[in-house]
């Protein structure tokens, strides 16, 4: 008993310097400092190969046993013609801090594949993630998709497009397998009506590049427009959009909101007064994330790291 007591005291004494050191850091500094010990990265995992092109994704997930964990799937912006999955890392830090795993998705840009290539990739990425959920300790019932600008459009399409749209054929050639349902969609100033942009000389440059040499342009634009697939049983959607956006008109956010409200679909629009196309101030981002956290909580999704005892079995 005496030896056991000495051992216990020794362990406690060893922990004291760690606790004292941690006390010198604020909560955000402590999280950033310890994150590499708790989060591991796996980069450039191939989820789809089309015509020799490998589409890849990166996974940032909690180390150690346990799970399954909620996961955010993020799609970067760039007008379907530019950008890289690595560009989105800073946009996902708030989710890692909340205890979510994060997956950043790379998709085929216009120079590699015209429309609907990017949509096909993101739908196939969702299928791959769900089919590998056990391997990566992912909870398929707690997947949220998020993106900004063109990435917002892709997040909306990933969460809204039904299998009948025929937009996942590279990974579902028979068209028989239903598309996995996500738990929520976070749309940062994304395109909601592609047909509207094609008709708008001021805003259609990137859209024209994505649709270069595409036959039946109007039909395809309708199929890759989120507003086309509005229905009452959609996952909840939150949109953040500046009302002075010079790239994706604010009317696109209003059109989606009004269409969702008309069928009583769960949704919320957060308007950034005077906000441009992203580039929001710290205060505006805080306001947006307060709304996002309330949105997640409303639908039973976590907004903080859960103790092991509270995680679903």
Q: To which residue do tokens 């592609």 refer? A: 194
Query: Where do the domains of the chain lie, and which CATH numbers do they carry?
Result: 42-302 (3.40.50.1820)
* CA–CA gap between residue 204 and residue 209 (Å, rounded): 9
User: Which of 136, 144, 142 is CA-nearest to residue 63?
Assistant: 136
Encode the chain (313 residues) as per-residue pLDDT tens digits: 454 545 444 444 444 454 566 668 888 888 889 999 999 999 999 999 999 999 999 999 999 887 899 999 999 999 999 999 998 899 999 999 999 999 999 999 999 999 999 999 999 999 999 999 999 999 999 999 999 999 999 999 999 999 999 999 999 999 999 999 999 999 999 999 999 999 888 888 889 999 998 988 999 999 999 999 999 999 999 999 999 999 999 999 999 999 999 999 999 999 999 999 999 999 999 999 999 999 999 999 999 876 544 444 4
CB 110 within 8 A of CB 104: no
Cis peptide before 68 (omega within 30 of 0): yes
Phi and psi angles of residue 188, each rounded to the nearest 5 degrees, phi first: -95, 105
Torsion of CA 199, 227, 295, 128, to 10 degrees: -100
């Amino acid at each position: 008993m005496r030896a056991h007591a000495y051992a216990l005291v020794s362990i406690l004494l060893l922990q004291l310097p760690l606790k004292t050191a941690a006390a010198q850091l604020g909560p955000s500094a402590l999280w950033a400092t310890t994150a590499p010990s708790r989060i591991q990265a796996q980069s450039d995992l191939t989820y789809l190969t089309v015509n020799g092109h490998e589409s890849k994704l990166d996974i940032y997930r909690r180390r150690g046993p346990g799970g399954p964990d909620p996961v955010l799937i993020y799609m970067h912006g760039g007008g379907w013609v530019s950008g890289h999955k690595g560009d989105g890392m800073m946009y996902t830090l708030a989710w890692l801090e909340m205890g979510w795993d994060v997956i950043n998705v790379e998709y085929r840009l216009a120079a590699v594949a015209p429309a609907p290539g990017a949509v096909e990739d993101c739908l196939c990425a969702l299928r791959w993630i769900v089919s590998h959920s056990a391997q990566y300790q992912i909870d398929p019932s707690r997947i949220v998709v998020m993106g900004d600008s063109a990435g917002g459009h892709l997040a909306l399409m990933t969460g809204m497009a039904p299998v009948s749209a025929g937009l996942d054929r590279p990974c579902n050639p028979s068209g028989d397998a239903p598309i996995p349902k996500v738990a929520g969609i976070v749309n940062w100033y994304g395109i909601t009506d592609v047909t509207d942009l094609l008709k708008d000389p001021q805003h259609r440059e990137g859209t024209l590049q994505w649709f270069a040499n595409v036959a039946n342009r109007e039909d395809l634009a309708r199929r890759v427009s989120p507003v086309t697939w509005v229905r009452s049983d959609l996952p909840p959607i939150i949109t953040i959009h500046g009302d002075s956006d010079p790239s994706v008109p604010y009317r696109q956010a209003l059109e989606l909101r009004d269409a969702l409200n008309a069928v009583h679909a769960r949704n919320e629009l957060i308007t950034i007064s005077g906000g441009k196309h992203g580039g929001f101030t710290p205060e505006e981002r805080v306001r947006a994330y307060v709304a996002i956290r309330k949105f997640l909580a409303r639908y039973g999704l976590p907004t903080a790291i859960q103790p092991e005892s509270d995680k679903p079995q």
